[in-house]
Amino acid sequence: MAVEAKLGVRLERAAPTKLYPFTRFFRGFERVPAIRALFGAKTGKVLRSQKVEFFSARFGYMGTSDEDGHLLISTRHLARSPFRTVYLDLVHELRHVKQFQDGRPLFYPKLAYVDAPSEIEAYRFTVDEGRRIGLTDAQLFDYLHTEWMTPAEHRRLARRCGVTPRPAPKRGRRRR
């Protein structure tokens, strides 16, 4: 007797994922020079066909599916983070979309996040856009930080992206 029948329960394992058009929630990106440079003459078409999936969790920001290239976006991040952060995160993820379209890997399980070629490339692209919109190195350094990076990884990523890291705090002294 099958376990399902014995317990009297059934699991539907083919749960649908609700995907929305990118342009339903994010408008004007077809006019952003960095995005136009990324996708060229197909920019409008790419953005109209791009899909987004929203998820609700206390943690998380954005990501790109390595299965089909759609964006995964935290509703909490979207609602609560500063405009500039969400904007730059979208620029970053759209770089990953292009990597996916080009058949390049998005994830490198044997490397630290800050050492993954896909991340370095996407962050450099994002830093260039941050500079275009007027961010300073101090602001970009802050943007590059995530809670899962060690201070050394944060500084390494900043250097790889051409951002001048802030001086490391001296041992035994607290940074204010």
Strand 71-74 relative to strand 62-64, pairing: antiparallel
**CA dist., res. 173 & res. 176, Å (int):** 9
The answer to which of 14-18, 49-53, 144-148 has the lowest mean pLDDT is 14-18
Q: CA geometry: angle at 35 spanning 47 and 62, to 5°? A: 70
For the chain, domain boundaries = 17-160
Closest CA to 157 of 127, 115, 122: 115
Q: How confident is the model at residue 171 (pLDDT cuts 50, 70, 90)?
A: low
What is the C-alpha separation between 40 and 33, in angstroms, rounded? 10
Give the integer Cα–Cα distance in Å for 83 and 143: 12
Q: Report the side by side order of strands in the sheet with 62-64.
A: 20-21, 51-55, 71-74, 62-64
Are the beta carbons of 128 and 101 closer than 8 angstroms? no
| pTM for the whole structure | 0.88
CA 47, CA 54: separation in Å to the nearest integer? 17
**pLDDT per residue over 88-100, tens digit each?**
999 999 999 999 9
Q: What is the pLDDT of residues 105-161, one digit of tens each?
A: 999 999 999 999 999 999 999 999 999 999 999 999 999 999 989 999 999 999 999
